[in-house]
Structure 1
Amino acid sequence: MTVFEGTFTQTESLRFAIVIGRFNDLIVNKLLAGCEDCLKRHGVDINPDGNQVDFYWVPGCFEIPLVARKAALSGRYDAVICLGAVIRGQTPHFDFVAGEVSKGIAAAAFQSGVPVIFGVVTTDTMQQALERAGIKSNLGWNYAMNALEMGTLMRQVNGLGGSSYEQLPAASAVQVLSGDRP
């Protein structure tokens, strides 16, 4: 049996897109800082003038899936990290935005075959969002770890031959997707 598992090493050739929704910037900037810190500590050059990370700023979370999909389909990236914050208000707006953003990010990953990391904090209160963005922990770090792991995993699965999910042989697809482990 072959086991495929992502790693957190050999990151110097990985490329990432980070799509950031500006709305709720107090939270989002903290998530971005955590994400950048994680990538940097794992050997990724986060310099905007470098060649490993590109930053895409969009107005809010609703716009994230479109840009994430375009970035993923470009063939330039091993993973796309989506960062944003949707905080419940007094109207049903939260439910519409949170649900559609989640579906859109998942669709971008499935349509492109590139890992698209859901890094959108969805909370009932600003306090909960702050806790997830730095007071108790910073989920931005976790989202970057997910991107590192999935980026390296997909390179293994694709045999370094591209980023298309369709390149995965049928027998291996069953093995990987079924969660079989030794």
Structure 2
Amino acid sequence: MKTITGTMDASGLKVALVVSRFNDLFTRNLVEGAKDCLVQTGASEDAIDVVWVPGSFELPNAAKELAESGRYQALIGLGVVIEGATDHASIITHTVAQKLMDLSLQYRMPIIDGVVGAKTMEQAMERCGAKQGNRGWSCALVAIEMASLTRRLQDRS
């Protein structure tokens, strides 16, 4: 039996962060968390691009353009959607997650969903760098491991 795993080494990895400008009080923290993780695991700051879009709903559109460019080994979509009085937040988070996964499968590369769904501003802050860690950091770890694993699996084909 052979076991195949990814690594946590971001050396040589080219990554784009696609980030929602809406709720940028929070998304800027997500960007910093992701960049810190990538650099601490070996990525060059020059190998990290940050693309800002108006809101989380626009993340898949920009991710598609970036995936088609062939310049990246991983993409990370970052946004914060805070629940209101309607189902709008739930619809946005579910739709974006599905579209990012569809793109990931279509382009055979990791496209990580880093959209934080929160019930309150306090909960959003906790998930963007306070009590419960930083979702940007954890998404960067997933991107690094999946980029490595994807490369290994494709090399076996």
TM-score, with length taken from structure 1: 0.81
Q: How many residues align?
A: 156
Residue in 2 aligned with 1:15?
14
1-side partners of 2:35 and 2:76: how far apart?
11
2-side partners of 1:4 and 1:44: how far apart?
22
Other structure's SS at 1:158 match = helix
Residue in 2 aligned with 1:162?
none
Aligned: 1:143 with 2:134 = no
| Bigger helix fraction | 2
Unaligned stretches of 5+ residues in structure 1: 160-167, 170-182
Residue in 2 aligned with 1:4?
4
Larger radius of gyration between Structure 1 and Structure 2: 1
Given that residues 83 and 120 in structure 1 are in contact (C-alpha distance below 8 angstroms), is that contact kept between their aligned partners in structure 2?
yes
One-letter code aligned to 2:63: A
4+ residue runs of structure 1 moved beyond 2 angstroms? none
Identity percentage over the alignment? 41
5 Å-filtered alignment, 1:96-175, equals 96-136=91-131, 137-159=133-155, 169=157
Given that residues 66 and 104 in structure 1 are in contact (C-alpha distance below 8 angstroms), is that contact kept between their aligned partners in structure 2?
no
RMSD between aligned alpha carbons? 1.3
TM-score, with length taken from structure 2: 0.94
State the shift of 1:12 in Å.
Answer: 2.3
Given that residues 132 and 138 in structure 1 are in contact (C-alpha distance below 8 angstroms), is that contact kept between their aligned partners in structure 2?
yes
2-side partners of 1:73 and 1:26: how far apart?
30
1-side partners of 2:2 and 2:15: how far apart?
27
State the shift of 1:140 in Å.
Answer: 1.1
2-side partners of 1:14 and 1:87: how far apart?
32
One-letter code aligned to 1:145: L
1-side partners of 2:77 and 2:23: how far apart?
14
